[in-house]
Amino acid sequence: MNHIPIALIHPTGSPFARNAAISLGEVGLLQEIITTIAHNPEGSMSHYLKLLPAPIRHRITNELGRRTWIPPNGVAMRSHPWSEAMRMSLVKTGLSRRFGLGSQGPIDWVYASLDHHVAKHHLQGLAAVYAYEDGAATTFEVAKQQGILCLYDLPILFYRMAREIQQEEAERFPALSASLQAVREPEWKLRRKEQEVALADHIFVASSITQQSLLREGVSPDKITVIPYGAPIDYFQPQPKLDGTFRALFVGRVGARKGVHYLIKAWEELQISQAELMLVGVNEFPETWRSQLPDGVNYVPSVPHATLNQYYSNANVFVFPSLVEGFGLVLLEAMACGIPVITTPHTAGPDILTDGIEGFIVPIRDSEALKEKLEWCYSHPQELAEMGRAARHKAEQLSWGLYRQKLTSKVNDILKK
């Protein structure tokens, strides 16, 4: 076992952060996890929740269930919940929009607050910190002064490439510009992103497109490691399709950054019978867009993650035409369910599937290419089913265990230098 203390910092506890923590914890490298809210279903809070009236208890339990994070054995969990609890309260009560803080509330403030707190209170005795985009600038600055190694995880395209693409899209579709976040990010936030990349001793990314966005900025290839995220093959599994309707499915934030408007255009032009395009997720389009959806396109607001397996399994093909992405975990969720995918090179598609085997890769902003592939899927049900079986097989190869193995191997190599 290694005895080199590392702290992992992530404000919201995403699946990739949880698996990175497991990875470092399995080999004895992780000393502590630092986050905002980390729910332990077996912890003391569960006892107090039982004292609340049932409706309130169920709402809180459902929300906390999304924030479950149990540390590996021997690893301390340091929770600093107040900023995130305040943000969630603003969002749930609708006050966030009323105060002009957007649908996600003051998320940048949550990231920056935890970053400053870690820099001030959590760096003593550490050999390295493992931190994520938007939550590492101050931590890295202080860590460098103390000779602490700075490991950085960038889950999405570096901001310059992301902003360039979204600015182009805003010019193409001015009515959709409000949903293109990178166009409106403040300068102080962009400077923090630059500082994080400059101070990082090594950068971990999950896709080749994210690597490319860094290489464009002159970051040395030796400073970047690409490790694709893992497929949730135990949580998501193939299930029988419940009807005979041909169904294309999108899951994610329903907006311009994800290229959904190109998908809707392709579907409208297809005009195929007994078919449905289903869009599942939080709407980021203007409020009037639902009334303008063409026939055969159905929208379902955000659903509990535990119910997504049935949505994937009732689809024939999963379509994810994103313009700006770092990976797209939904791709592996669909593949784990045995559903082939259509996606773009601006996701992890080129890293996790072979074009024409487990799905298709089409250019961004290309409704004609989407239309062509959807028409092929509709016209070749047997070949499409075989493609779905290949997708499940590939997902089984791309497990979270493989991700953790590759991550610990690289971190160990870095620590030995």
Residue numbers of the chain with a pLDDT score lower than 70:
1-3, 41-65
What pLDDT is attached to residue 149? 97
What pLDDT is attached to residue 96? 79
What pLDDT is attached to residue 1? 43
DSSP state, 399?
A: B
Name, in order, each residue with C-beta under 8 angstroms of 87's C-beta and a sequence gap of 6 or more.
96, 104, 105, 106, 107, 109, 110
What pLDDT is attached to residue 286? 86
Q: Please indicate whether the domains covering 6-230+400-416 and 246-397 agree at the CATH topology level.
A: yes
Delimit the domains of the chain by residue range: 6-230+400-416, 246-397
Chain segment 259-286, per-residue pLDDT in tens: 999 999 999 999 898 899 999 998 989 8
Our CA angle for 169, 171, 175, nearest 5°, is: 85
Nearest to 6 by CA among 139, 138, 150, 120: 150
What pLDDT is attached to residue 64? 63
Q: Does domain 246-397 have CATH number 3.30.70.100?
A: no
Is the Cβ–Cβ distance between 56 and 72 less than 8 Å?
no
What pLDDT is attached to residue 13? 82
What pLDDT is attached to residue 4? 76
What's the rounded Cα separation, in Å, for the pair 310 and 308? 5
DSSP code string of 63-88: HHHTTB--PPTT-EEEE--HHHHHHH
CATH of 6-230+400-416, one of 3.40.640.10, 3.40.50.2000, 3.40.50.300, 2.60.120.200: 3.40.50.2000
Q: Which residues pair with 204 in a beta bridge?
A: 153, 225
pTM score, whole prediction:
0.92
